[in-house]
Structure 1
Amino acid sequence: MADTARQVLGILGSRAACLMLSLVTSAVIAQSLQPEGRGVYYMAVTVATTATMLGHLSGEQAQSALWTGTERREALAGNSVPLALTLGTLSGLAGTAFVAVVGPETLNLPGQYLVVMACLSVPFGIASNYAANIALLRGRVDVANWSMLAGALAQCAAVAALAAGGRLSVGAAVIVWVAAGCVPLVVFTAAGAAAGRRRDLKLARTTLTTGARYHLGPASVYLLMNADIYLLSALTGAREVGIYSLAVGLAGYSRMLADVVSQVMLKRQFNSSDTESADVTARITRYAVLLATGSALVLTLAAPLLVSAVYGAAYAEAVPLVLLLAPGVMALGASRLPSTYLLRSRRARTVVVPSVIALTVNMALNLLLIPLWGAAGCALASSLAYVLLAALQTRLFTRMTGVPARELLPTAADLLTLLASARRCVPDKRAAV
């Protein structure tokens, strides 16, 4: 536990820096563009992000599932970036075509040009995702986190400079977002963290077919997290999207600790036997539950002050939305490791079925509640669906492994162990004297 805690705390510094940079970037954009302009910006970015997440064909999940065969690893790494850039180009074109068909005005966008600009990021976004997963599977967590930090720093610096000069428009914010999205790939390439000594066309096809088997699951999870934005935009307007997207972003910050733990444990989950991986997953999940719960409580208490002090009175309506989203986001963070373990089975239904069920429930609840309560109905529907997804994935994990559900719930001893491990990782000032 102490070694894991040292790894977690070792990367929290870069994650904390990313968080602060993200808060600054978000605040500058929010104050410069105001809720309606932020809603337009976020809608354009969401279209590009949707193209990225739907177009990657679950290559990361396929890489993880195939990584257990040691003879494939070099070729998986060598294939990662070329395969991603190809898929990304096709996905970016599909995203722009989708908006052209439904009409930009349907999504409260001023024109097609914003979507075209945003979708330039898609090939690089997919390539960064593939490269990051290879780096994590190799245990190169440091490079993965430095890549995120570099991208966050580039975006924050550019946005702040444009705002200081009074030139931060919606279009400029989108261009900066696209440019910053290319930075992580540059970092991975420079560090060689995802490089492979050979490429294998046959393995590339296997990666695609394996990923396609899983893809409905991750695609459903992404749509679960983002389809509400499309519905909210179509049923209300850009202002509501601007406020709700801010609440979603703030709620997402509370998953940082659980996500860090998941990244650190990825190598152990896929590089060990089924029994050892199940044991590690159950044991570390107890600590993830503690971290997710603590983060949600901090977020709930801090949200009123954070929104008023950083974003201003125009975004006051985001506070109750954060509180509605917090339970669902906490559940997703707590169940992150069991959901990752399901990939080991290489049975697509264990990944797909829970996600499709949760997405279906989410869409139905959003269509019912948005006309009644607007963004608040959207937040409530999404939070309930997140909890449902976490429950379904955890149930599958316990059935697959035979681990009792109670083994995933933290005890007082787990809390004491977590605190003791954290204390041991903090440098002793007296020893340094």
Structure 2
Amino acid sequence: MKWSLLSVAVSAVTGVAAARALEPSGRGLLALILSLAGICVLVGAMGTNVAIRVHLPKSDDVGIRSFLVVSVRLLLAVAITLVGLVLCAYRWIDPAFGSWSIALGFVVFGIASFVSNQALDLLNARGMVQRSAMLNALGSILTMLLVLAALFIGLGLVAVIAAYVAGPLVQGLVGLAWSADALAADESPPAARSLLRTGVRLMGFNLGQSLAYSSGPVILAAIAGSREVGIYAVAVTPASLARVPANALGQVNFYRASSGVLTLRRLRRELAVVMVSLSAMVVAGLIVAEPLVTTVFGSAYADSVVVFRLLLLAELALVPFLIIARVLAGLGLPRAASTCGTCGVPVLCVGCILLVPSYGAAGAAGASIAAYAAMSMLAVWMVCKYRARLSQVN
């Protein structure tokens, strides 16, 4: 937990430093690069990073060698997809992708993120959870230090992108090095199909909610341009900190549900406590939004104040989903959990198409409120539908 909290804090500092180092349009292009690459990596992994965490602890036919072989093949597909995305982004989203430095930075960042993603989850699958969390935090710290250096030296967007590449690249290489001894001892037979079959079945939960989080900046950039994405991204940095308590409780309740010790009464009580506590935090955030944003990020991001206030409301609406979706997954209902996350994507897309042309980043934030509320309402309906499973876990 301490490493995870450290990573959250470091990411917040990195976001502030990146905003200070770049003007809104540059910060928006950075956010667009991170969002597009993140979606590509998540889809490109085909759920294998989750599947290895299921198979390896069971010591069945799927071993480390099979995972790495599949990962190399998927990496080639991811690299080709990233190049294709550069061409699409240049044509339909932002002409800045026509710059060789931006295009190369985007592709290399996506590759480094994929390697890091696979390597860290391989450590988790081997039971080295603390070491994986530590490596994740250390990579985040490296990125933060390099972004701060770019800020103080006065370097531009390319240097900041390079800083974001360095963290996951080190994470991936070190993580693979830590698994080299286990690879040498692995004598399991090839099992690529089994790994992919399990991965595709399990990837829905993460994919749905990640698309709901990441689609907004992409649509916003296509409609309103990178500057509005920069305004939106700066508001997201502090607002997303509100997810920490709900995410932590969701992880705990995932374990409780899968272990058969979670009751509906307990879930209701804990959800109410989190909602009331977070509501107080949101009210405080609404009050101090203007001095907080302009002081921390600079006067260039004054337009982010309204967006920040709207995103605080969106984060409050997201709380039930963050907790209940993990409960559904813990109960062995991955399809129900993934449906809750996926339902937010069309709501977000339609909301952005309707609101962004008139309201820019604030319109995207309003669409997020609607999408997150839809995700939470469906999650509440789902847990009510399957409440008998909770009542039987005593």
2:284 to 298, 301, 308: 301
Instruction: Look up the SS of the partner of 1:57 in the other structure.
Output: coil
Match of 1:324 in 2: 310
- 1:247–1:117 Cα change, 3 Å: same
Instruction: Please show how residues 3-402 of structure 1 align to structure 2 within 5 Å.
Output: 11-12=1-2, 14-63=3-52, 66=55, 70-72=58-60, 75=62, 79-101=66-88, 103-104=90-91, 106-113=93-100, 114-133=102-121, 135-136=123-124, 140-166=128-154, 168-189=155-176, 197-198=185-186, 200=188, 203-263=191-251, 270=258, 272=259, 275-276=260-261, 279=262, 283=266, 286-287=269-270, 290-291=273-274, 294-295=277-278, 297-298=280-281, 301-302=284-285, 303-343=289-329, 349-402=335-388
| Matched position secondary structure for 1:335 | helix
Q: State the distance in 1 between where 2:189 and 2:95 align.
A: 42
Supply the distance in 2 between the matched residues of 1:128 and 1:309 (Cα, whole angstroms). Answer: 34
Deviation at 1:311, TM superposition (A): 0.5
Cα distance, 1:91 vs structure 2: 1.3
Instruction: Give the aligned residue type for 1:51.
Output: C
Shift of the 294–199 alpha-carbon distance from structure 1 to 2, 3 Å rule, reads: farther
Contact 1:136 1:267 in 2 (8 A): no
Distance 1:323 1:245 in 2: 13
Q: Is the 8 A contact 2:326 2:337 kept in 1?
A: no
Distance 1:102 1:178, change over 3 A: closer
What whole-Å deviation, never above 9, does each CA across 1:351-397 have from its counterpart, x for those lacking one? 44333332112211111111222211110111211121122233323
CA distance in 1, matches of 2:91, 2:283: 35
* In structure 1, distance between residues paired with 2:214 and 2:386: 29
Listed one character per residue, the Cα deviations across residues 258-279 of structure 1 (whole Å, up to 9, x for unaligned) are 3234445655655x3xx34xx1
> Structure 1 residue 241: deviation in Å?
0.7
Question: Taking every aligned residue pair, what percent have the same amino acid on both sides?
Answer: 23
- Deviates further, 192-201 or 369-378: 192-201
Alignment deviations for residues 385-419 of structure 1 (CA, whole Å, 9 cap, x no partner)? 112112223332332341679x9xxxxxxxxxxxx
> Post-superposition shift, 1:342?
3.3
Q: Report deviation, 1:170.
A: 1.0
The residue type paired with residue 313 of structure 2 is P
Q: Which runs of 5+ in 1 are unaligned?
A: 1-10, 408-433
TM, length-normalised to structure 1: 0.77
**2:302 & 2:62 partners in 1: Cα distance?**
51
**Is contact 2:113-2:169 (8 Å) kept?**
yes
Q: CA RMSD in A?
A: 3.4
Aligned AA for 2:198?
Answer: T
Q: Is the 8 A contact 2:41 2:110 kept in 1?
A: yes
Separation in structure 2 between the aligned mates of residue 193 and residue 142 of structure 1, nearest angstrom: 18
Give secondary structure in 1 for the equivalent of 2:104: helix
Q: Is the 8 A contact 1:108 1:233 kept in 2?
A: no
More off after superposition, 369-378 vs 74-83 = 74-83
Amino acid at match of 1:177: Y
- What secondary structure sits across from 2:35 in the alignment? helix
Q: Deviations over 1:296-339 (max 9, x none)?
A: 64355244333122101111221221221223323434433432
Q: Structure 1's 152 and 118: CA in aligned 2 closer, same or farther, altered over 3 A?
A: same
User: Does structure 2 retain, via aligned residues, the 8 Å contact 1:251–1:299?
Assistant: no
Residues in 2 aligned to 1:376 and 1:263: alpha-carbon distance in whole angstroms: 31
CA change 1:118–1:193 in 2 (3 A) is same
Aligned partners of 1:121 and 1:178 also within 8 Å: yes
* Inter-CA distance 193–345: structure 2 relative to 1 (3 Å threshold): farther
Q: CA deviation at 1:150?
A: 0.4
* Distance in 2 (alpha carbons) for counterparts of 1:346 and 1:288: 20
Distance 2:22 2:300 in 1: 11
Query: With structure 2 as the length reference, what TM-score do the two structures score?
Result: 0.83
- Distance (whole Å) between structure 2 residues aligned to residue 358 and residue 322 of structure 1: 20
